[in-house]
Amino acid sequence: MEELIFEVRASQTAVDEMDDAACRALGINRTDGRCLDIIDREGAITAGTLARRSGLTTAAVTAVLDRMEAAGYAARRHDSADRRRVIVELTPLAQERAAAIWGPIADIPRELGRYTAEQLELLRDFHRRSRELNQRRAAEVRELGFE
């Protein structure tokens, strides 16, 4: 158990290091990088959804989108069904640069091919539970207010 916890924490540190390097290469801050990741995972989404998924206020998301548009990584358009809603999507430049950064490590299926379906389900469940635990604990920590 101790070795597993060590490896999970070391993996989280490695992901954090990779995220930092990627954001530096893209010339953006970590908050903008987190928002790019959300858009990349979910596809074209509303600015309001981006605010909810990122935990940012709508005003903060507006600032993020202003910076990402200026960098050429995101585009906003009005929803054709409801012009009050703004849809956000990645630009071809963002997709191209993301492929250059994450492409070499995106071949995870090949790496995981040595595991059985049952083992992959276990890994998926472990990561899902870990994510859910971290999300719950983050909400609790936000409520601590040590200020």
Q: What percent of the chain has pLDDT over 70?
A: 99
The residue-averaged pLDDT of 10-28 equals 95
Pairing mode, strands 45-46 and 74-78: unpaired
- E strands, 27-137, are 45-46, 74-78, 86-90
Mean residue pLDDT of the chain comes to 92
The answer, yes or no, to whether residue 147 has pLDDT greater than 70, is no
Residue 65: name the closest of 43, 39, 83, 42 by CA. 39
pLDDT at 1: 87
The answer, yes or no, to whether residue 72 has pLDDT greater than 80, is yes
Cα 95 to chain centroid, rounded: 14
Residue 46: name the closest of 23, 9, 74 by CA. 74
Question: Residues 30-61: pLDDT tens digits?
Answer: 999 999 999 999 999 999 999 999 999 999 99
Question: Residues 84-120: pLDDT tens digits?
Answer: 889 999 999 999 999 999 988 877 778 888 899 999 9
pLDDT at 30: 96
The answer, yes or no, to whether residue 142 has pLDDT greater than 90, is no
The answer, yes or no, to whether residue 145 has pLDDT greater than 90, is no
- Reported pTM: 0.82
